[in-house]
Amino acid sequence: MQRWLLLWPLFALALAAPVELKLNLRVGGQPLQFGQTYQTPQKQRYQIDLLKFYLSEVALVRPDGSEVRVPGLVLAEFKPGGPTQGVTLMRFEAPPGTYRGIRFNVGVPRELNHLDAATQSPPLGVNSGMYWAWNPGYIFFKLEGRAFLEPERRWVIHMGTDAFRIPVRLQDLQTPRLVLNLPGRGGSILLNLDVGAAFLPGPGGAFLDWRQEELRQLHGLSPQTRAFMGLVYQNLIQAFSLASPPLQSR
């Protein structure tokens, strides 16, 4: 019996494969490049200066719908001078096998979102640059840039509060289209985030018109701009996708 117990770490090692979760930033079909000017569907020209967001409650989804949950919370940050392609968001271990997708939230879990930020450790806490002083809790998703209007204007999207935690579900249990075979030696799961999708128009053609001052500062839950925050939120839910191929073995 004692001998079997000594062998247990070897079994455990065999049951856990290293996984890297990576991200490509895109604008439409192209890799995002800082410093490059893009255009919204409404022909407003813009550049991206900063993207930061929290990623949490990650889980791999098995064919039977059960999940391998990944503990932890990461803060992803992209800014000029840094990489935008194949950036590792987090590393974890999961049992080798077949999965039918991955799910995660963009945001901070509710149970962490309302603790005293003055005492929380990185990536939470006030030094993260994501704490919302006037509105307890964290900014979950921060996108900032410039719009080339006359004159040039800065715009920000600071999405947060529990109502705007973004659930991303990249899984398919109904059809055989999506299969992730994680080998024992591990692999990388590659995601795409189409940042340009944030600016897609909504029902009735509503869009984030940066000519309007209040739409250049999109914060929180304000009823005055909530419809537009909701529009960006809906866009972002669909802005994440799995790359092709979604999983690269080591």
List, as one string, the DSSP characters of 120-184: PPTTSSGGGS-B-TTSSSBEEEEEEEEE-SSS-EEEEEEEESGGG-EEEEEE-SSSTT--EEE-T
Please report, in angstroms and rounded to a whole number, the separation of the first and last CA atoms in the chain.
35
Of the pair 187, 220, the CB lying nearest other proteins is at: 220
Residue count at the site for other proteins (CB under 8 A)?
25
Q: Which amino acid is at 154?
A: R
Place of tokens 């930033």: 25
Of the pair 24, 128, the CB lying nearest other proteins is at: 128
Parallel, antiparallel, or unpaired: how do β-strands 17-27 and 87-94 relate? antiparallel
Does residue 118 bind other proteins (CB under 8 A)?
Answer: yes
Closest CA to 33 of 200, 166, 145: 145
Q: Cβ 114 to other proteins, closest distance in Å?
A: 10
Q: Cβ 109 to other proteins, closest distance in Å?
A: 19
Of the pair 38, 138, the CB lying nearest other proteins is at: 138
Q: Which stretch binds other proteins (CB under 8 A): 9-17, 112-120, 183-191, 192-200?
A: 112-120
Does residue 127 bind other proteins (CB under 8 A)?
Answer: yes
Per CB under 8 A, contacts with other proteins among 189-248 are 217, 220-224, 226
Name the residues that contact other proteins, by CB under 8 A: 116-119, 125-129, 131, 133-136, 154, 156, 161, 163, 217, 220-224, 226
